[in-house]
A = this chain, B = another copy of it.
Amino acid sequence: MSAFVTLSLSAGLAALLLHRAYTTGRLRHVIASLGGSVAYIEPYTGKTYPLDKPRWSGDDKPGEQPIPLMLTALPGITRRQIDKTKRSLWRCPHFKLEWNNPTCSFKDRGTTVMLSLLRQQGITHVLEDSSGNGGASVSCYAAAGGLHATIMAPDSTSPAKTVQMKAHGATVELIPGSRQATSDAAVAAHGRDGGRLFYASHAWHPFFLHGTKTLAYELWEDLGFRAPDNVVIPSGGGSNILGCDLGFSELQRAGEIQKLPRLFCAQPLLCSPLASGILQALGETDGHSPPAEWNVPNKTMAEGTSISRPVRLQECIDAVVRSKGGAIRVTEAEMAQATFDLAQCGLYTEPTCAQAAAAYRTLIARGVIKADETTVIVLTSTGVKATPGIATLLETR
């Protein structure tokens, strides 16, 4: 299985290093290493200025434009100075930035594995139902692999969301009615077009999950070949719950880790079939109204997790219970607050992902997770993909 893993090792890591180096002031050492001989310089006059005073240009001269500065020549570094082994993550908690995948969401992990398999099996036309990240990912990888993609989406889908699919050459079919009606139409269309249209569904295909499991392998490697104590996962269909369950179980089977991390499912209170099912299975209550309430489609701002009938509901519940984890149902207000709290730490995410940070806060407050445990919060996609939703949040703030 090593190819599955090497596929996406270190995705997301560079971002954390950038942030971490920034926030720990590592540049102090850099400035020291520059030595006393380095200075700001006006490149064409040769005039220099010391580094220790902040300045953005050369000195003003009356009636002239200011001059842009450079640094005097540095010695360069050699390959022996490249540290290829050391990796670090933020502590308490660790954020896993899944937008560092080619189409800027975690879906690519599953799509690349699923479509690679299908192509080798001779499939030429793939069908996916999604109005968001899944459709973008399948369109992209289908194009990369020379397959034709058809994406079905509810007819209420904003045109902006279908732009990426069409640019990749996918055929977009808009289906009247609910999100569920689109799923039903996709199931019915499997085998269409003279038998060649294959339902390559991120919700259904097991090889999709064997792509998302690379998240577990990658966290294990990021943490120095250790499993975290807890993983908090924003959940819709549950493919990251099942991916983590698969990956960490395999690592346990291979003798690489001793116990499974606890998996925590974060879902919007307004649409929380998985979280409600988990609470029920654990015999827990959370002070919110009973589960029936979530069956209101399309009301939560967490669109990416607004899936009222997950295909693998029971498997997800079992995986979380087996891990001794739990579930948090997140209110819209908590989600909005978490979106801005993350942004003000430099992490710009969809509200869909920010609910995991909100859930973490609740888990800490309740003492379910301790601050000194190693906890990973999975941020599945970037806020860049949710501009209209975040604009609305800003207006009503």
From known contacts A68-B311, A383-B164, A384-B385, infer whether A4 and B30 are also in contact, taking CB-CB under 8 Å: yes
A106 located at the interface, meaning its Cβ lies under 8 Å from any Cβ of chain B in the complex: no
From known contacts A77-B1, A164-B387, A251-B76, infer whether A18 and B206 are also in contact, taking CB-CB under 8 Å: no
| A143 & B343 in contact (Cβ 8 Å cutoff) | yes
Min CB–CB distance A184 → chain B (angstroms): 11
| A204 & B56 in contact (Cβ 8 Å cutoff) | yes
Partner of A348, one of B53, B140, B311, B339: B140
- Residues of B with C-beta under 8 A to A136: 348
Partner of A168, one of B57, B143, B198, B343: B343
- Residues of B with C-beta under 8 A to A12: 14
A282 located at the interface, meaning its Cβ lies under 8 Å from any Cβ of chain B in the complex: no
| A10 & B14 in contact (Cβ 8 Å cutoff) | yes
Residue among A7, A136, A312 with the highest chain B CB neighbour number at 10 A: A7
User: What size tier do the contact residues of chain A reach?
Assistant: 35 or more
Partner of A254, one of B28, B78, B384: B78
Interface flags for A148-169 (1: CB within 8 Å of B; 0: not) read 0000000000011001101111
A293 located at the interface, meaning its Cβ lies under 8 Å from any Cβ of chain B in the complex: no
- Residues of B with C-beta under 8 A to A340: 167, 169
Interface flags for A11-44 (1: CB within 8 Å of B; 0: not) read 1111101110111011111110110000010011
| Copy total for this chain | 2
| B70 & A209 in contact (Cβ 8 Å cutoff) | yes
Give A57 to B113 CA distance when docked, in angstroms. Answer: 17
A201 located at the interface, meaning its Cβ lies under 8 Å from any Cβ of chain B in the complex: yes
Give A205 to B57 CA distance when docked, in angstroms. Answer: 7
Give A82 to B5 CA distance when docked, in angstroms. Answer: 8
A residues 104-124 with Cβ under 8 Å of B? 104, 108, 112-113, 115-123
Partner of A167, one of B101, B118, B145, B394: B394
- Residues of B with C-beta under 8 A to A346: 102, 140-141, 143-145, 168
- Residues of B with C-beta under 8 A to A84: 9, 84-85
Min CB–CB distance A243 → chain B (angstroms): 12
A221 located at the interface, meaning its Cβ lies under 8 Å from any Cβ of chain B in the complex: yes
From known contacts A68-B204, A167-B343, A344-B168, infer whether A3 and B30 are also in contact, taking CB-CB under 8 Å: yes
| A315 & B255 in contact (Cβ 8 Å cutoff) | no
- Residues of B with C-beta under 8 A to A15: 11, 100-102
A71 located at the interface, meaning its Cβ lies under 8 Å from any Cβ of chain B in the complex: yes
- Residues of B with C-beta under 8 A to A73: 249-250, 253
A199 located at the interface, meaning its Cβ lies under 8 Å from any Cβ of chain B in the complex: yes
| A10 & B10 in contact (Cβ 8 Å cutoff) | yes
- Residues of B with C-beta under 8 A to A377: none
Q: What are 6 A-B contacts defined by CB distance under 8 Å?
A: A12-B14, A14-B100, A56-B205, A73-B250, A74-B250, A168-B348
Give me the 7 closest cross-chain CB pairs, A-B, nearest first: A144-B346, A76-B254, A76-B250, A11-B14, A27-B116, A167-B343, A15-B102
